Amino acid sequence: MCSRTGPSRFPSIHILLFLITLPVVFSFSRPQWILQRVPVVLPQQSESRPAPRFLSQARLDVASPCDPECHKKAPLPSYWDLQQFLAYETLHSDGQLTETSIGIYGNLGSNKSPAYSYAPAEKGQRSHTRRKRQIFGHDGRYSIAGQNFVLKYPFSAAVKLSTGCSGTLVGDRHVLTAAHCVHDGKNYVKGAQRLRVGFLKPRQRDLASPISNLSNHVERDPNGALIASEKMKFQWIRAKRTHVPKGWIKGNANDIGMDYDYALLELKKAHKRRHMKLGVSPSSKRLPGRRVHFSGFDNDRPGQLVYRFCQAGEETPDLLYQHCDAQPGASGSGVYARMWEGRRRRWERKVIGVFSGHQWVERQGASQEFNVAVRITPLKYAQICYWIKGNFVDCREG
């Protein structure tokens, strides 16, 4: 559902960039990334599985009837449960499929640790059929246009999947996205075998025409929608392999599934852009202004990169609820925060979650709506980091 439109009060790109850097100017306490020792997640044994059938279309968002209170009441999984949830499948570009068991080593902390948390839905709780809305009040999204900005970090770390979702560069050849973008909970979706990742860039003939008027980046069409000032195109790179946790597959996109709605793609060749680092998701109370950010390719703005930020709301150990405006196509985007990195003595952005989808629940006659991100817990950090690095030594702190 589109938001209300009226007289344009859209801020200039100067104001947008000023807002993005607010912590540098006004933060005297310097909210810091606090490195913590994380467990080790190691692959143990891989076995071949029957080749997938690639039957269904990719879902561009995920809906769940389980609200934050429902998730908080969930029982804690055992160590053996976690081994099952963090086992994973790997889809190779030649169509072969393998399943890998894992071992978990190191201190998992107390029973309240995010490492132990998962979120089955309360039985009997149902959502009424309705059109999902992911815009809350006035549309607060920003279209990022022009090579001076699209090719500038952190916007340059956002990529588009050929299945229609978004993703974020988290390594020289690795992309973090949502599991539902490649797997529907039962099988791999159409296009997952020949999955491609798109990098937005100006057309070659436009490279000699630098931007002379920054106000063009926030130009609106007669319907109030933002339009880009330059023609852009995608440069595509094929995915070599795709990792999906069994927590998503076993959860079948419900019960525990939403807590494991993440996947990692390995590209066939390295890209040449700066990537974002992973970080263990801190409590939203520790984030500067409780603010989270993400950029993706919303379907209602084709060919445009869309950035947004908002305050984080409620949270469970595995999920982060917020009202950042988004539309289908943005799912899979890396949700990031910007805080002070004490060791390097600089401000640094880190991906702390993956934008998953929408939740709409009705309790006692009142409806509540949320957009939801999967938090990167210590165990998820250890797993994703191992997928990227290929060893656990470089993944002990997150």
Contact 388, 397 (CB under 8 A): no
* DSSP structural state of residue 81: H
Nearest C-alpha neighbor of 385 from the set 359, 351, 355: 351
Question: Left if phi > 0, otherwise alpha if psi is -120 to 50, otherwise beta: which for 247?
Answer: alpha
* DSSP structural state of residue 52: P
Q: Residue 195, class by beta-carbon neighbours within 10 Å (0-12 exposed, 13-18 middle, 19+ buried)?
A: buried
Contact 292, 278 (CB under 8 A): no
Nearest C-alpha neighbor of 154 from the set 12, 323, 292: 292
Q: Is 298 a catalytic residue?
A: no
My answer on whether omega of the bond before 154 falls inside 30° of 0, hence cis, is: yes
Q: Is 331 a catalytic residue?
A: yes
- Token pair, residue 274, equals 């700066």
Q: Which of 174, 180, 217, 293 is catalytic?
A: 180
Q: Is 318 a catalytic residue?
A: no
Nearest C-alpha neighbor of 20 from the set 224, 288, 232, 373: 288
Question: For residue 71, what are the contacts with CB-CB under 8 A and spacing of at least 6?
Answer: 119, 316, 318, 319
Q: Which of 61, 67, 184, 255 is catalytic?
A: 255
Q: Which of 284, 331, 333, 356 is catalytic?
A: 331
List Cα–Cα distances, 37 to 34, 78, 260, 365, in angstroms.
10, 21, 21, 44
Instruction: Return the active site residues.
Output: 180, 255, 331
